[in-house]
Amino acid sequence: MTYSGADGPRTGILLDDRVHGLAAGTTLLDLLTRGELDEAGDAARRDPAEVRALADVRLLSPLPRPPSVRDSLGFLDHLRGCYKALGRPGDLHEAWYQTPAYYFANVGSIVGPYDDVPVPPGCALFDFELEVAAVIGRGGRDLHPDTAAEHIAGYTMFNDWSARDIQMRDMAQGIGMGKSKDGASTLGPALDTDPDLGTELSASLNGEVLASGTLSQLDWSFGEMVAYASRGCDLVPGDVVCSGTVPGGCLLEHVDTPVVAEARWLRPGDVVSLRGFGGETRQTVVAGAPLVPLRSGF
């Protein structure tokens, strides 16, 4: 985990509600890059640089700026749910069954598990997404899907906050996600290096659970998603490959009105929590900056 120490961000492990910190200046990315994650964990157990109560620290994103973030669409029922909410036919194009699609998220907009999240400028249909992130520990290229998951160091939660109205314009332009996914992506709270892959995943809005599920619902395994991400290019330690949204794990899938704009969307003051690998996130939506129009008025 990465947490706020007395002298800045620190890296450590959690043992019985107490944080065992490593030496100042040690980062999770450094440990992954050097292949020293296991050794550092052992050192934090035996001889920590500091020990603090979990309640006395603030958890930050374990990787405040990962080398890359690929957000896949591993749960096809999420896509079917979105199509249904928008009144579109539920049949998926054959391409969705051929490869696990992904887009590159903005590594400069990673936020921590308890950071406030501003509504993007000009957005009226703001949404969250319940996802899992796999962090690469051992790099590779052209990995085989049967063994690619062995390159994963651990798992945590991911929330690619989505401006749905802006996303509709992104999709109409036909070159992939742009400003709709640019504002914030939550990564955290902690990296689970010994995960139970059957862990229950859930998303809550203002204390009400809206969705739950497990990785058993994936149509594309993490081995397949990591292997595809490595096809023809290098994955490096600290790269992040995300699952896509657990079915039902966003407001778009709960739209129950023909006029999408009249459905329930996030607004300032809403509190969104994701629970699963590494613990629970808890974030408040806040007002964002006003829109500065371009020449077209958008």
| pLDDT tens, residue by residue, 99-158 | 999 999 999 999 999 999 999 999 999 999 999 999 999 999 999 999 999 999 999 999
Dmax (CA) of the chain: 61
pLDDT > 90 in the chain, percent:
95
* pLDDT of 296: 82
Summary mean pLDDT of the chain? 96
Q: Where are the domains of the chain?
A: 2-60, 69-286
Nearest by Cα to 161 from 3, 256, 284: 284
- pLDDT tens column, 223-272: 999 999 999 999 999 999 999 999 999 999 999 999 999 999 999 999 99
Kindly list the strands in the beta sheet with 131-136, ordered across the sheet, starting from the edge strand earlier in the chain: 102-104, 69-72, 240-242, 131-136, 152-160, 185-192, 110-111
Integer Cα distance of 282 and 271 in angstroms:
7
The structural architecture, per CATH, of the domain 69-286 is Alpha-Beta Complex (3.90)
* pLDDT of 230: 98
| pLDDT above 80: residue 167 | yes
- pLDDT tens column, 62-108: 999 999 999 999 999 999 999 999 998 889 999 999 999 999 999 99
Contacts of 226 (CB under 8 A, 6+ apart): 134, 136, 143, 148, 149, 151, 152, 235, 241
* pLDDT of 298: 86
* pLDDT of 32: 98
* pLDDT of 107: 97
The 3-state DSSP class for residue 84 equals helix
